[in-house]
Chain A
Amino acid sequence: MGRVMAVPTPSGASGRARRLEKINAKAPRFGRVSHLETIPFGRALTVERFRLDNGLGVLLLQDKSAPVVAYHTWFRVGSRHEKPGKTGLAHLFEHLMFNEVEGLPAGEFDRKLEEAGAENNASTWLDFTQYNESLPKNQIGLVVKLEAARMSKLVLRDPQVTSEKEVVANERRYRVDDDVEGAVDELLWKTAFQVHPYRWPTIGWMEDIQNFTTEDCAAFYSTYYAPNNATVVVVGDFSEASLLEKISQSYGDLAPAELPIEDLEPEPPQQEERRLEVVKPTPTEKLAVGYKGPALGDADHIAVSLLLEVLFGGRASRLQKLLIRELELATDLRASVGPHRDPALIEVFVSAREGRRAEEVLEVIDRELDRVRREPVTNAEIERARARAELGLVGGLETADGKASTLGFYETVLGEPAAAFSRLRAMQRVDAGDLLRMARRYLVPRARTVIFVRSGGTS
């Protein structure tokens, strides 16, 4: 997909140029700010793209509907950048970023933000790590300083690393080891991918988590936490010039780093079906199926998303109607296509009704997928799927934080901050023939992975 066309704003542009000149006149060594483009974001908002001389990307979206600001920092590093034996490092590092910073003892970072009334958090996934703060608009200066400080002045010590490893091990127990769906999801990706780093979980294998050293963490920090590997996204009620000046002053001394060239082997095409069976202490059988899907940047991703809505999205979708209501074989089912930089999985997860077998569920899914490979879906089904997607997008933009998440995600994975809207427009052009082609291309039984979960260990 191409970049969204810039909107010309002559008077605003000249005013901005004068303001940037002032900011740049007193900028630190790497702190000069350049305005790159204006990008429409929905029907009434625009995103301004800037860059500092050190490569730090800045996306600003002014939205004065509430007196608050969302401040996100997105790093282009995730679990895909890890190596076997060191899995989970990106995620552990995300935890460590809340510890000591030069001049700020451990805990002080969060304390200062809380005093400012901020809500803050972070997340790590396959392709990125992001840190987010939402705070009252008059507190924005604080967060600029704090985020700039922890981008270069984090202090890593053994006691904090040891304690945080235990926290992450407990998070893993919570999300994976004692959670049926989490454990099955991990097994599905591990089995479906044999070469690409998507085969290990973002949280990491337990053994790797327990073996990390402070040196591992320090090396990761110096490699990936650099201004030219990050984008700052700010949404809310702020003054553009004043904020840019703060960003220039706070980040302008940080030198860019030489980022390693990513050296990944693509996952070879899957030529055979892979089946596994596991026993879990669960009252009902489960089924997980993974088909190889397109990357987020592939035009097919939009059509596959729509196809999955038709088949699995909401109670009016084909498989929900069949499996839950008509045949009463399942209690819950959902499906998604991974929104990732490289081709990932189309995942289907089903909880069978008590006493029903996972094989019965798979048989129905196979029958329906066979049908969708042979016959076009109806226009009414496509319209419903589009309407669901539209509501999902608009609903996710209610808060400043929701807008910042949407911008930061698409900027980091695709380089297109407003891609949510271009995808919605592209969805309007998808027709039944496209969906037929997607079903034939991706929902291929011989290239899938299937996990059957048996019920065992009940009291």
Chain B
Amino acid sequence: MSPRPSAPAAPTEDTAARLGVPALFVEPSPALPMVGVSFALTRGAALDPPGKEGATRLMARLLRRTGGNRTATESDELIDSLGGSLAVEATSSTVGVHGHVITRSLERFTRVIEEVVQAPTFREDEFRLLLRETEGELIEALDDDRTLARRWFRRRLFAGHPYGRPTSGTPESLRRIALDDLEALYRRLFVKAHVVLAFAGDLTPEAALEFGRQLTASLPDGPAVPDEVGEPKGIEGRRLVIVDKPERTQTQIFIGGLGSHPRDEDHTALYVANTIFGGTFTARLTQEVRAKRGWSYGAYSSLPFDRQRQAFSMWTFPKAEDAGPCIALQLAMLRDLRERGVTKSELARAKKYLCRSHAFSVDTPSKRAGLRVDSVIYDLPARYFEEYTDRVQAVTLEQVNAAIRNRLPERDLLVTVLGTEAHIGGALREAIPDLADVEVIPFDRND
């Protein structure tokens, strides 16, 4: 039987300082013969040069392929043979190289990551191949209705802001990117001042420190790139975006506006409000849309955050005929929430749910390490996750209802619907009072 995990994450500002990086976290656990390794940066695709959206993600993928002067195929064969998996990600705020490996191969696997982050080779042949592959993936993504609807929701809600830029790029932006752009991005991003390291699983803190040293040894010391991503402004007025796709029996609907960030004093209160409104299966949205009316298989709202405020949004997917009534219902529910707030008993239930279910945010070494990495990447207040349940417990009914009134948008609202415009366009326009603007976007517009 494995021992209960000790108090989280050893390290330590001291340890991180010895490596010259902002943070290093270790979550040791011998429960499984596996180790998770995370090498994350505190800057990301917001640094894509203008008109060259997708460059940071391309750069990260190219590193994964060409580390140690290997070809993509050689890298894949090596990682597979070790019993490992290695993925890269690039969002507006971070670039991450994340992997898992069977313990017996940890040393060799760490060398692979070392080669990825410190010895990429920027091979022209692999770059060309990757460009064509990425363009193919962008076209393939047109099959995914939910992703398409969400993409246009983000792009229009955050128009003019880095959060509205497509981190995967567009076919057009990819064509403007040269190999030199990726090398320049690599040099700006891969400095010690941006690096957050985490190890989770079957290793000791001492081994983690040694591997951490190995992963950062030859990275330059700095300087950190200033974070110039400002606060997003959201939109003004009520706007409707229809992503027009033929032969849709169903719609994908995203409705929302600007949300909040943990730095906002009322963020926890708003988070609790979102739980009551659309955060669980018994929340108001699911009960009204799914349980009572059977209109949509899922009906949820969410309040994610980034380094700045992200969106508050509702997501439903009713059949085409129900799209108009469903939107009207959701808008009415939002108005009701703002006018009447939540009840004392709803608040009590939500608090119990959030505090008790927090156990599942920290039940594995990887999850615990992941939260710690997030706290640095997203610039969260000190001890944000450690004090999570205390903050939730402390929220009052007055604070929740004030946060709803102050934060949840009702007038400045974006409604994005993927569906067949000829069938549903009229009903959508009728369902949204005070509509300021309507835009119809062909689903295969890929700019």
The reply to whether A68 and B363 contact each other, CB–CB distance below 8 Å, is yes
In Å, the complex CA distance between A390 and B80 comes to 11
Greatest chain A CB density within 10 A among B81, B129, B287 is at: B81
B143 on the A face (CB < 8 A): yes
B282 to chain A, nearest CB (A): 5
In Å, the complex CA distance between A316 and B70 comes to 13
The reply to whether A68 and B359 contact each other, CB–CB distance below 8 Å, is yes
B175 on the A face (CB < 8 A): no
By a CB distance below 8 angstroms, the chain B residues around A458 are 246, 444
The reply to whether B246 and A398 contact each other, CB–CB distance below 8 Å, is no
A93 to chain B, nearest CB (A): 16
In Å, the complex CA distance between A85 and B360 comes to 41
Interface string of A323-361 (1 = CB under 8 A from B): 011001001100000000000000000010110000000
In Å, the complex CA distance between A174 and B360 comes to 28
The reply to whether B353 and A115 contact each other, CB–CB distance below 8 Å, is yes
The reply to whether B246 and A64 contact each other, CB–CB distance below 8 Å, is no
Contacts A166-B294, A170-B319; is A325 near B73 (CB within 8 Å)?
A: yes
Q: Which of B2, B100, B295 contacts A63 (CB under 8 A)?
A: B2
By a CB distance below 8 angstroms, the chain B residues around A135 are 356
State the total of A-B contacts with C-beta under 8 angstroms.
207
In Å, the complex CA distance between A385 and B297 comes to 37
In Å, the complex CA distance between A179 and B146 comes to 10
By a CB distance below 8 angstroms, the chain A residues around B363 are 66, 68, 399-400
Contacts A63-B2, A65-B31, A163-B292; is A391 near B83 (CB within 8 Å)?
A: yes
A381 to chain B, nearest CB (A): 9
A111 on the B face (CB < 8 A): yes
A445 on the B face (CB < 8 A): no
Contacts A284-B139, A459-B442; is A397 near B32 (CB within 8 Å)?
A: yes
By a CB distance below 8 angstroms, the chain A residues around B317 are 170, 174
A116 on the B face (CB < 8 A): yes
Contacts A66-B5, A167-B297, A387-B83; is A134 near B281 (CB within 8 Å)?
A: no
B128 to chain A, nearest CB (A): 11
| Interface residue SS majority, chain B | mixed
B123 on the A face (CB < 8 A): no
In Å, the complex CA distance between A375 and B70 comes to 28
The reply to whether A398 and B366 contact each other, CB–CB distance below 8 Å, is yes
The reply to whether B319 and A388 contact each other, CB–CB distance below 8 Å, is no
Interface string of A35-47 (1 = CB under 8 A from B): 0000000011100
A339 to chain B, nearest CB (A): 21
By a CB distance below 8 angstroms, the chain B residues around A44 are 1-2, 31
The reply to whether B250 and A177 contact each other, CB–CB distance below 8 Å, is yes
B:101-154 near A, CB below 8 Å = 101-102, 129, 132-133, 136-137, 139-140, 142-143, 145
The reply to whether A457 and B247 contact each other, CB–CB distance below 8 Å, is yes
The reply to whether B4 and A65 contact each other, CB–CB distance below 8 Å, is yes
Total interface residues on A, CB under 8 Å, equals 76
By a CB distance below 8 angstroms, the chain B residues around A134 are 360
| Interface residue SS majority, chain A | mixed
Greatest chain A CB density within 10 A among B29, B31, B72, B363 is at: B363
The reply to whether B33 and A394 contact each other, CB–CB distance below 8 Å, is yes
In Å, the complex CA distance between A106 and B282 comes to 11
Interface string of A380-415 (1 = CB under 8 A from B): 100111011011001101111000000000000000
Greatest chain B CB density within 10 A among A111, A164, A387, A398 is at: A398
The reply to whether B356 and A116 contact each other, CB–CB distance below 8 Å, is yes
Interface string of A45-74 (1 = CB under 8 A from B): 100000000000000001111111000000
A369 on the B face (CB < 8 A): no
Contacts A136-B356, A170-B295; is A64 near B249 (CB within 8 Å)?
A: no
A119 on the B face (CB < 8 A): yes
B299 to chain A, nearest CB (A): 10
By a CB distance below 8 angstroms, the chain A residues around B355 are 117
A319 to chain B, nearest CB (A): 13
The reply to whether B82 and A331 contact each other, CB–CB distance below 8 Å, is no
In Å, the complex CA distance between A394 and B83 comes to 10
Contacts A178-B145, A316-B80; is A325 near B129 (CB within 8 Å)?
A: yes
By a CB distance below 8 angstroms, the chain B residues around A331 are 133, 136-137, 139-140
Q: Which of B33, B72, B248, B444 contacts A315 (CB under 8 A)?
A: B72
B259 on the A face (CB < 8 A): no
A394 to chain B, nearest CB (A): 5
B301 to chain A, nearest CB (A): 16
A164 to chain B, nearest CB (A): 7
The reply to whether B246 and A383 contact each other, CB–CB distance below 8 Å, is no
B:329-344 near A, CB below 8 Å = none
Q: Which of B83, B250, B293 contacts A178 (CB under 8 A)?
A: B250
Interface string of A435-448 (1 = CB under 8 A from B): 00000000000000
In Å, the complex CA distance between A135 and B185 comes to 44
The reply to whether A178 and B249 contact each other, CB–CB distance below 8 Å, is yes
The reply to whether B294 and A282 contact each other, CB–CB distance below 8 Å, is no
B:3-59 near A, CB below 8 Å = 3-5, 29, 31-34
B224 on the A face (CB < 8 A): no
In Å, the complex CA distance between A171 and B319 comes to 10
Which chain B residue lies CB-closest to A108?
B282
A223 on the B face (CB < 8 A): no
The reply to whether B250 and A384 contact each other, CB–CB distance below 8 Å, is no
The reply to whether B291 and A106 contact each other, CB–CB distance below 8 Å, is yes
By a CB distance below 8 angstroms, the chain B residues around A145 are none
In Å, the complex CA distance between A397 and B201 comes to 13
By a CB distance below 8 angstroms, the chain A residues around B143 are 179-181, 282-284, 351
The reply to whether A316 and B83 contact each other, CB–CB distance below 8 Å, is no
In Å, the complex CA distance between A169 and B293 comes to 12
Contacts A387-B81, A391-B83, A391-B100; is A114 near B2 (CB within 8 Å)?
A: no
B263 on the A face (CB < 8 A): no
By a CB distance below 8 angstroms, the chain B residues around A376 are none
A173 on the B face (CB < 8 A): yes
What 11 additional pairs, Cβ within 8 angstroms, besides A170-B319, A399-B364, A459-B245?
A: A64-B2, A65-B4, A117-B360, A170-B317, A174-B317, A283-B139, A283-B140, A354-B139, A387-B82, A390-B102, A457-B247
Q: List 12 A-B contacts (CB under 8 A).
A: A44-B2, A63-B31, A65-B29, A66-B363, A115-B349, A167-B294, A284-B143, A328-B133, A383-B81, A387-B80, A459-B244, A459-B444
List residues of chain B with CB under 8 Å of any chain A CB. 1-5, 29, 31-34, 72-73, 76-77, 79-85, 100-102, 129, 132-133, 136-137, 139-140, 142-143, 145, 244-250, 280-282, 287, 290-297, 317-319, 349, 352-353, 355-360, 362-364, 366, 442-444
